[in-house]
Chains A and B, each alone.
Chain A
Amino acid sequence: MSLALVIILAVIFVSAAVGIYAGRNLKMNLENWTVGGRRFGILLIWLLMAGEIYTTFTFLGASGWAYSKGAPAFYILVYGALAYTLSFFILPMIWKIGKRYGLHTQPDFFITIYRSRGLGVLVALIGVFSIIPYLQLQLAGLGFIVEVASNGAIRSQTAIVIAFGLTCAFVYTSGIKGAAWVAIIKDVLMIAAVVIVGFGVPAIYFGGFGKLMEAVITKMPEHLVFPGSTPDMNVLWVMSTILVTALGFYMWPHVFGSAFSAKSHRVIKRNAVIMPFYQIPILLIFMVGLTAVMVIPGLENGDLAFLELVNRTYPPWFMGFVGAAGAVTAMVPAAILVLFASTLVSKNIYQAGFRPQAPEDRVMRLSRFMVIVIMTVSLFFALKFPNELVPLLILGYDGVCQFFPGVVFGLFWSRVTKAAVWAGMVTGVVVAAALILSKNDPLWGINAGFVGLIVNTAVTVLITKFSGTARDSVSENSMWTGIGPDKGGAS
C-alpha cells in the first residue's frame, strides 16, 4: 500500500469519525439536526459557511478556468465578496424571522412570509432539483481527485462509494454539527494545500508571481483581459454572471438554511465582515492555473491542470495529501447539501404539501431516511454519468437565483403578493431554462440566469402593482389559509 493511499484513507476515515463524534449526547430532533439548536458562534458559522462554499468545483474549476479560459475566471474571485456584502444586509433579518417563527429551511421562510404552503412546496422542489446535480458533482469530483492522487490505486468508483457511506453516516448521526466539525479538518488541509502549491509552483518554475505574470503577458497577453481565451465571455458576460452568482449565492437552500444555525444575528453580521478574506486562496488557485498554462499547455481537460502540475512537481506522498484534502473538500459540502435536500423533502414537500398533521418525530425519521435516498440517487448519477451534469449545475444556479426577488421583496416590500412571487419565480426559471436548453446562453452576451432574473423581477413587480391587494388579504382567500407550519405569518 503506497504512502499516498494511506494518507487519503486515514484522513477520510478520521474525518467521518470526528463527524460522528460531534453528535454524541445530542438529542436528535429537527432543531438540532438541521440548525444545530441555533447555538453556533462565530467560529463554527465561519467554518460551516466556508465549508459549504469551497467545494471541489472551486479547487479544480478555478484553476481549470484560469488555465483554459483566462480572465473570465476572475468572476470566481469577485462574486463571493459581493455575496458577503449582500449577506451583511439581508441575512441578519432572515435569521431574526427564523428565530421568531422557529424556521429550519428556506421554504419555511417563504411559507411564513407569504402564508402559502404551495409556494413553500414550489421553492422546495426547485431547491431539491438544483441540489442533486450539485451533490452529484461533489461525488464525481471526489472520485476524480482520489483516483488521480492515488495514482490509480483507488479507482474513482471505489472512492465515491466509500465517501458516500462515510458521509451518510455522519450526516445521519450528527446533522449539521457533524458537517461543521469535519469542516475544521477540511479547511486546514485545503488551505495548507492551496498555500503550498499556490506559492510553490510559481516560485519553482518562474521565481515568483511577478516573473510568472511577465511570462504570461509576453506570451499570451489577451489571456489576462476579458474575454480571455474564450470567444464569448466578454465584459458584459462577466458582469451579468457576477450578479447572478452573487445574488444566487445565499439563495442556495443549504447556504440560506445554514444561517439559522447562528446563535444571534450579530454573529451573522460579523461573519459577513470576515468572509471576504476567504477569497484569497482563490487568487493562489488562479496562479496555479496560470503556471500550468505556461508549463503544461495543451491539456484537453483544463480541470486536470492543478493535479497534473502537482504530480509533475511534488513527490507522490504530497499527491496523497492533496487527494485527501480534495476528498474532504467534497465530503463537507456533500453532507450539508444532502442534509438540506432531505429536510426539504420531508418537511416542505411531504409535511407542508401532503400531511400537515404529521408529527415532528415522523418528519425527523423521514429526513434521515431521505439522506440515504438522495445520496443514492446522486451516487447513481455520479457513477453512471460522471461528466454530463455540469450543464444541470449551471441550470441549478440560474434556478436558485430566481428566489432572490421573493426573498428581498418579502423582507422589504409588504405589498408584494404571493401570486406575484409565484408567477415571477416560475417565469424566471422557465426563461432561464429555455435559453440554456436552446443553446442561447449567453443571450447577446448576457448570462441566461440574469435574463431570467430581470423577467422574474419585472413580472413580480407588475402583478403586485396591478393586483393592488395587500399580502394578508390575498392569503385569506387562499386554499392554504390557516394551516401554516408555525404561529402564522410575519406581518
Chain B
Amino acid sequence: MKKGTRLALILGAIPFITLVFALPLVNRIRPLVLGLPFLLFWILLWVLLTPLILFIAYRLEARFNPPDDGDEP
C-alpha cells in the first residue's frame, strides 16, 4: 500500500473510533462543556474535526502518493 494511502486510512479510522466505539464511555451529562452536556459536546467536537482530519488525509495523499496516471484532465 502506498504510504499516503496508509497514513490517510489511519486518520480515517479516528472518526470511527471516537464517534462509534468511544460512545459507551462518553454517555454522560457532566462535565458540561460550553454549556452542552458532555455527550453532545463530544459528538459535536468530532463531527467538526472530521473535515479537518480528511483535509490532512488529502494533503498527505497528495504529498506521498505519486501522481495518478489514471487522471483525466
Give the interface of A toward B (CB within 8 A).
Answer: 71, 74, 77-78, 81-82, 84-86, 88-89, 96, 99, 209-210, 213-214, 217, 221, 224-226, 235, 238-239, 242-243, 263-266, 269-270, 272-277, 279-280, 283
Contacts and interface: CB of A to CB of B under 8 A. Distances in A.
B44 A283 contact: yes
Contacts, number: 101
Given A96-B70, A273-B55, A276-B54, 10 more contacts: A78-B47, A88-B8, A88-B12, A89-B9, A217-B32, A217-B37, A224-B37, A225-B29, A235-B27, A276-B48
Interface string B36-56: 110110011011101101110
Contact of B23 (A81, A89, A235): A235
A277 B39 CA distance: 19
22 contacts: A77-B47, A85-B12, A85-B53, A85-B54, A86-B12, A88-B12, A96-B70, A209-B36, A210-B34, A224-B40, A225-B27, A225-B37, A225-B39, A235-B23, A239-B20, A242-B20, A265-B68, A273-B55, A273-B58, A275-B51, A276-B48, A276-B50
B58 A270 contact: yes
A74 B72 contact: no
A250 B65 CA distance: 25
Nearest to B37: A224
Contacts of A264: 71-72
Given A217-B37, A235-B24, A272 B43 contact: no
Nearest to A89: B12
Nearest to A208: B35
A82 B47 CA distance: 9
Contacts of A85: 12, 15-16, 50, 53-54
A243 B23 CA distance: 13
A276 B36 contact: no
A213 B37 contact: yes
B54 A273 contact: yes
A279 B27 contact: no
Given A225-B28, A235-B24, A270-B58, A81 B72 contact: no
A270 B23 CA distance: 28
A196 B20 CA distance: 31
A88 B19 contact: no
A77 B32 CA distance: 19
Contacts of B47: 77-78, 81, 276, 279
A238 B50 contact: no
B45 to A, nearest CB: 11
Nearest to B59: A273
B15 A81 contact: yes
Contact of B36 (A213, A226, A238, A274): A213
B16 A274 contact: no
A217 B37 CA distance: 8
Contacts of B54: 84-85, 88, 272-273, 276
A82 B20 contact: yes
Contacts of A78: 19-20, 43, 47
Nearest to B22: A239
Nearest to A78: B19
A136 B48 CA distance: 33
A328 to B, nearest CB: 26
A85 B11 CA distance: 10
B71 A89 contact: no
Given A74-B40, A217-B37, A224 B29 contact: yes
B30 to A, nearest CB: 9
Nearest to B57: A88
Contacts of A226: 23, 27, 39
A209 B35 contact: yes
A81 B72 CA distance: 28
A82 B12 CA distance: 9
Contacts of B36: 209, 213
Contacts of B15: 81-82, 85
A67 B54 CA distance: 32
Contacts of A74: 39-40, 43
B58 A81 contact: no
Contacts of A89: 8-9, 12
Nearest to A38: B72
A269 B59 CA distance: 11
Contact of A242 (B19, B40, B51, B53): B19
Contacts of A273: 51, 54-55, 58
Nearest to B21: A239
A273 B51 CA distance: 5
Nearest to A243: B20
B60 to A, nearest CB: 12
A234 to B, nearest CB: 9
A385 to B, nearest CB: 35
Contacts of A239: 20-21, 23-24
B8 to A, nearest CB: 7
Given A88-B57, A235-B24, A273-B55, A82 B29 contact: no
A235 B44 CA distance: 17
Nearest to A210: B35
Given A84-B50, A89-B9, A283-B44, A238 B23 contact: yes
